[in-house]
Chains A and B, each alone.
Chain A
């Protein structure tokens, strides 16, 4: 049972435009969500996170939106740059008010390609 799903295996975007990556989850216990970026032959790099007490978190060109009722989150990258081309993973865990240790459940990843 895939508790975190990224239904788009790939996304292609023109430089300067917006990239929107989507993620759905089924486990209602999840209350902390993270996005990781991964280049080939490297480990995932933390990008941005959001707690379920918020519906939006912004960091520079990256914004994550959380819709708890729909169990859906999205990552917006504006403007997209060729260096953003990578695999993006959505991840979630049940933080339980800060008592959890952060065991992550990942989606399958979306390959983003930003064309110059």
Chain B
């Protein structure tokens, strides 16, 4: 596709529910990132993939967060047993080298 595509755009989850957020990166981009953006803040790094390999997951806030990119293209960020503090916009980005291109994000609201 022309850009990074994320789905769903909006997700409301009840506390304790599991959610899965999808990212379709720009075709051919080796690098894929997930960021979390709280209200009024800048995006914060969660995890990084180079093709299918998850090379950095230092930003994942807890073991309830899990990301995968099994075939080196589409990626899924899964959050288990969601809590209110997980409410944020989750951004996916892909890059070929230095400039990362972002998707529209998924706004997750945990009620």
Q: Tell me whether chain B's interface is mostly helix, strand or loop, or mixed.
A: strand
Closest chain A CB from B100 CB (angstroms): 6
| Chain B interface bracket (under 10, 10 to 19, 20 to 34, 35 or more) | 20 to 34
Count A interface residues, CB 8 Å.
25
Whether A108 contacts B4 by the Cβ 8 Å rule is no
Q: Roughly how many angstroms separate A17 CA and B13 CA in the complex, as a whole number?
A: 45
Whether A89 contacts B99 by the Cβ 8 Å rule is no
Whether A43 contacts B4 by the Cβ 8 Å rule is yes
Could you say which of B50, B56, B93 has the most chain A C-beta atoms within 10 Å of its C-beta?
Answer: B93
Closest chain A CB from B40 CB (angstroms): 7
By a beta-carbon cutoff of 8 Å, the part of chain B in contact with chain A is 4, 6, 31, 33, 35, 40-45, 48, 50, 55-56, 91, 93, 95, 97-105
20 interchain pairs (CB within 8 A)?
Answer: A34-B99, A34-B100, A41-B104, A42-B105, A43-B4, A43-B93, A43-B102, A43-B104, A43-B105, A44-B43, A46-B101, A98-B97, A102-B95, A102-B98, A103-B45, A104-B100, A106-B44, A108-B40, A108-B42, A109-B41
